[in-house]
Amino acid sequence: MDNRRRDRRRVARGLLLFLGFVVGQTGFAFEGDYIWEARFKAGLARAEQTASAKDQYAVADMYFRGRGTAINHARALDWFLRAAKQGYAKAAYKAGYLYLHSKKLPAGALPSKAIPWLKKAAVAGYAPAQYELGKVYFSGKIVKRDESLALKWLGKAKRAGYAPAGEAFARTVKRLVKASAGKSIARRPAASDSVPPPQTASDTPDPKGIILHSQWGSVEGPSRFLPSRLTRCRESPEGIECLSAKQNMQLASSRVEYRTRARMTDFNAEGHFRLTYANNLLASGGQSMQAAIKKGWQGNEQVLDCSLMAGRTISCAQGADRQYQFFGHY
C-alpha cells in the first residue's frame, strides 16, 4: 500500500511539474513570473535613466519575448529602434525583423521599413541581418529582385559561419544556375519563327558591351578578372583588358602583394568568350617566400572558358574540375 501511495505521489508531482512547464511556456503565470517582472521593471527604469543602447535592447527583448510583461511588438520595436539609432547592430536587425515578419505592429509599420535597418546591421557585419537581407533581395517582394546582391549578403553571412545562410546560399546558386542553364544573353529564334524579322545592330545584345559596362563579383567580393571596383578595364581590338589594383594575400606565414592582368577575347554572339589571366608579384615577406617565389609575372597565363548567361551571370570553367560564377549589376 505504501509503495502504491508513493508511486501515485511521484506521478502527481511529475504531472504538476509538466503542467507548470507548459503553463510557463504559454505565457500564463507560474512560479518564476515575479522574478521576470522585477527584472523588467528594473531594466525599464535603468534604460530610461541611462539611455544605454544595451539597456534599451534588453527592454525591447523582454517586450518581444513577453518576459516580465505582456508581449508587445509595437513597444519592442520602439525600444529596438532607440538602440539601433545609437549604432547597436543587433537592435537594428531586430527592428528590421519585426518590420518584415510581425503581424502585431500598427498598420503604418510597412515591411519596406525593414530595409534600411537590415542594411545598417548587415554593413556592421551582423550575420543574421546579412542573411535576412539576402533573402529579401532574392525574393523581390519588397525591393526589386537583385540576384547579385542576394548572393553578396548570403555569401557574407555564410562566411561568418551562420548556418542558415550556408543552406540558403547553396539553394540560391542552384536555382540561378538552373534558371540560366542553356540561356545565352543573345536571343535565339523560336522554331515557329518561319521568317525572322530583320535585326539592326542595336537590336542585338552585345555581350562584350554588357560585360565592360557592368560591375562583377563573386561571393568572395569584387572580381579581380572582370570589370569591378578593383579593376581598371578598357576595350581593345581583341576584346577587353583589365588590370587589378594592388592586392594582398596570406601564404603560409608570409604576405604577398600582387596585381592581376586579365584579357577577355574570342567573343561570339551567343555570349561565349575566353578569359586569360596572370598575376604579377610585387612584393613578398620573409626570406623563404622570396626565395620560393620571384617577383614579376608568374608562369603561364591561366585560361577560363566563359559564357554570359541570362540573369547577369557569367559562368566560367577552368578545365574539367573548376567552376566559377560571377554576378553583375549595371
Q: Tell me: domain 29-178, CATH 3.30.70.860, correct?
A: no
Q: Where are the domains of the chain?
A: 29-178, 205-329
CB 215 within 8 A of CB 228: yes
pLDDT computed for residue 252 by the predictor: 56
pLDDT computed for residue 129 by the predictor: 95
What is d(CA 149, CA 330) in angstroms, rounded to the nearest whole number? 12
pTM over 0.75: no
pLDDT computed for residue 51 by the predictor: 93
CB 131 within 8 A of CB 164: yes
211: closest CA among 181, 230, 234?
A: 234
pLDDT computed for residue 21 by the predictor: 37
- H-run or E-run covering 20: helix 2-26
In DSSP terms, 187 is beta-bridged to none
pLDDT tens track, the chain, 330 positions: 556 656 555 544 554 444 343 333 334 334 457 788 899 999 999 999 999 999 999 999 999 999 899 999 999 999 999 999 999 999 999 999 999 999 999 988 999 999 999 999 999 999 999 999 999 998 999 999 888 788 889 888 888 888 888 788 877 777 766 665 545 444 444 444 444 444 333 334 578 888 888 888 887 778 888 998 889 999 888 899 999 998 887 665 667 788 899 999 998 888 889 999 988 888 766 555 455 567 777 777 888 888 887 767 888 888 767 777 888 764
Strands (DSSP E) found in the chain: 215-218, 221-222, 231-235, 239-244, 247-251, 254-265, 272-284, 296-297, 302-309, 313-318, 322-329
Q: Helix axis angle, 53-65 relative to 89-101, nearest 10°?
A: 30
Q: How far is CA 273 from the centre of its chain?
A: 29
63: closest CA among 82, 50, 88?
A: 82
pLDDT computed for residue 193 by the predictor: 41
CB 256 within 8 A of CB 249: yes
pLDDT computed for residue 268 by the predictor: 87
Which position has the grid cell 578595364?
A: 233
- H-run or E-run covering 179: helix 163-180
What is d(CA 286, CA 117) in angstroms, rounded to the nearest whole number? 44
139: closest CA among 163, 120, 107, 114?
A: 114
CB 166 within 8 A of CB 289: no
Number of Cβ within a 10 Å radius of residue 260:
19
- Quick one: cell of 273? 568568350
What is d(CA 266, CA 240) in angstroms, rounded to the nearest whole number? 10
The residue count for the chain:
330
